Amino acid sequence: MTYQGSTKEEKLNIIDLPRLRDAVKRDTEAGAFGYVDGGSSDEQVLRDNEQAFRHYQLIPRMLQDIAAPDLSTTLFDIPLTMPVIAAPIAAHGLMHQDGEQVTVKGVGAAGSIFSLSTYGNSRIADVASAAPDTPKFFQLYMSRDDDFNQYLLDEAVNNGYKAIILTADATLGGYREADIINNFTFPLPMENLAAFSNAAGSGEGLGIADIYARAKQDLSLRDIKKVKEMAHGLPVIVKGIQDPDDALAAIAAGADGIWVSNHGGRELNGAPASIDTLAAIAKAVNRRVPVIFDSGIRRGEDVAKALALGADVVALGRPMLWGLNQGGAAGVQSVYEHLATELKIVMQLTGAHTVAELQRAKIINAKF
């Protein structure tokens, strides 16, 4: 039987993002939901990614003369309506029949940046055609095959993508038990793989371990420069940084951006919550390059906390797919708008007129 993704297209009435997840769980085939939702091993980091935000407390500020907070900001000179961009995620087709080509429209309508994964279900060019005006980044799982890498980066450059996200924290897959239990294999082709070579296959019918087997495992600092050259000078953001020393080394090796992430709890379990690693990394980076944060953002408060701890923007992963599943492009836009509603309240009540002021908001770690 062919996999049936959602075909919905409608604005959503969102109470909060966790409740939106419940609807997706209800409507989606267990293996597909498990692949998107699950984490590695006993999922401690997956849970901690969300829970750790609770240890951080924003201090309410009074009488700060704010008529209306301004949520806009920029990333690599790209204007954003709010400090939230799309995280790269594989296989949007699991969530909606037209996959990334729908998501990209919603992200654009929300005034944000879309990130296309190497393992998306849509071709680089098709995503660009679907939403020419949406600013786009391309995420690279570096392959053992440099011809394939070059093919991908050429496509990204030629189709107007504005930066390359080099994923550094997934040189192999985490131990994801949900996928093992569900015996999950991808029911849909990964079109960028298919487009390069039918011989190597499209990934359809394969498990995640098979997909990762093609990745370059011995990724090194030298690859940052290499990717930059192969991408004709596009900025390269290194994604998956969890340690200040790695951030410094990546910048020294040419990184144009640092993406703090633990891959949504899908790679190393027994590691810190992503938000717990942010402050030290941001301090080390010291605003030399932009810091992007993901893993665990579910509320406007979470966005605000990440910014107050040093991020320039945050990236939204699973919640964006929840909107995609429940409402297509309009659903994705609804997710952004909901988050803007929450964030605006938080900015007002913490006394932040602007995103820059939010980054200087008082925040405490109440765990210790």
Whether 88 has a binding-site annotation, put simply, is yes
Q: CA-to-CA distance for 298 and 51, rounded, in angstroms?
A: 10
Burial class from Cβ neighbours inside 10 Å (0-12, 13-18, 19+) for residue 367 reads: exposed
Whether 35 has a binding-site annotation, put simply, is yes
Find the binder of a copy of itself among 11, 175, 214, 354 (CB under 8 A).
Answer: 175
Catalytic site residue 263?
Answer: yes
Helix axes 274-285, 44-51, angle to 10 degrees: 70
Q: Which is nearer to a copy of itself, 73 or 167 (CB)?
A: 167
Q: Which is nearer to a copy of itself, 126 or 337 (CB)?
A: 337
C-beta of 172: minimal distance to a copy of itself in Å? Answer: 6
Q: Which residue has the tokens 């569900």?
A: 182
Report how many residues bind a copy of itself under the rule CB under 8 A.
Answer: 74
Find the binder of a copy of itself among 20, 39, 46, 56 (CB under 8 A).
Answer: 56
Q: Which is nearer to a copy of itself, 23 or 180 (CB)?
A: 180
184 forms part of the interface with a copy of itself (CB under 8 A): no
Whether 348 has a binding-site annotation, put simply, is no
Starting at the earlier edge strand, list the strands of the sheet with 84-86: 84-86, 313-316, 291-293, 257-260, 236-241, 163-167, 136-140, 114-117
Q: CA-to-CA distance for 254 and 251, rounded, in angstroms?
A: 5
Whether 290 has a binding-site annotation, put simply, is no
Over its C-alpha atoms, the chain yields an Rg (Å, rounded) of 19
C-beta of 193: minimal distance to a copy of itself in Å? Answer: 22
57 forms part of the interface with a copy of itself (CB under 8 A): yes
Residues 212-241 touching a copy of itself, rule: CB under 8 A, are 217-221, 223-224, 238, 240-241
Q: CA-to-CA distance for 36 and 130, rounded, in angstroms?
A: 23
Interface segment toward a copy of itself; rule CB under 8 A; list 106-114, 116-124, 164-172, 185-193 = 164-172
6: helix, strand or coil:
strand
Residue 191 CB contacts under 8 Å (≥ 6 apart), including other chains: 120, 121, 122, 123, 126, 202
Q: Cα angle at 145 between 143 and 146, to 5 degrees?
A: 95
**293 closest CA partner among 283, 279, 278, 280:** 278
Whether 294 has a binding-site annotation, put simply, is yes
267 forms part of the interface with a copy of itself (CB under 8 A): yes
11 forms part of the interface with a copy of itself (CB under 8 A): no
C-beta of 32: minimal distance to a copy of itself in Å? Answer: 19
Residues 309-328 touching a copy of itself, rule: CB under 8 A, are none
Which residues are identified as catalytic? 263
Binding-site members are 35, 88-90, 117, 139, 141, 167, 176, 239, 261, 263, 266, 294-298, 317-318
